[in-house]
Amino acid sequence: MDMTIVTLTLTTVVSFLALIAFAGPRVVKDTTGKDLPEGFQKSEFLLEKGFLDFISHRKNLKKNINLYLDLIQNKALRNYI
């Protein structure tokens, strides 16, 4: 499985369909004895719940992080092609 997670201070960026967890769904279920919600621990679920700032395809990651940095630093936006 391919996974990318980038954290810039309080900003969290992940790739699509990334599994974000310290333990897999089966281990969590065995430990808690409860069924997990559908898609639990996936990047899209965590974005919906407000734990992530945005999701980016790996090929667009550099461009999206540079855009985000330009915005939060109130700099002129770079020319993205």
The C-alpha atoms of residue 32 and residue 14 are separated, in whole angstroms, by 26
Question: Which range marks the domain in which residue 23 is found?
Answer: 5-72
* Residue 80 falls inside a structural domain: no
Domain membership of residue 41 (yes or no) is: yes
Q: Tens digit of pLDDT for each residue in 19-72?
A: 777 777 888 889 999 888 888 888 888 889 888 888 888 888 888 888 888 888
pLDDT (0 to 100) of residue 55? 87
Question: Is 38 within 8 Å of 79 (Cβ atoms)?
Answer: no
- Domain presence at residue 16: yes
pLDDT (tens digit per residue) in 3-14:
566 655 567 777
**What pTM, to 2 d.p., does this model score?**
0.61
Cβ neighbours of residue 33 closer than 8 Å, sequence gap 6 or more: none
User: Is residue 79 domain-resident?
Assistant: no
| Domain total in the chain | 1
Asked if residue 64 is part of any domain, the answer here is: yes
Sequence-distant (≥ 6) Cβ neighbours of residue 13 within 8 angstroms: 5, 6, 7, 52, 53, 54, 55, 56, 61, 64, 65, 68
According to the model, what pLDDT value does residue 6 have?
A: 61
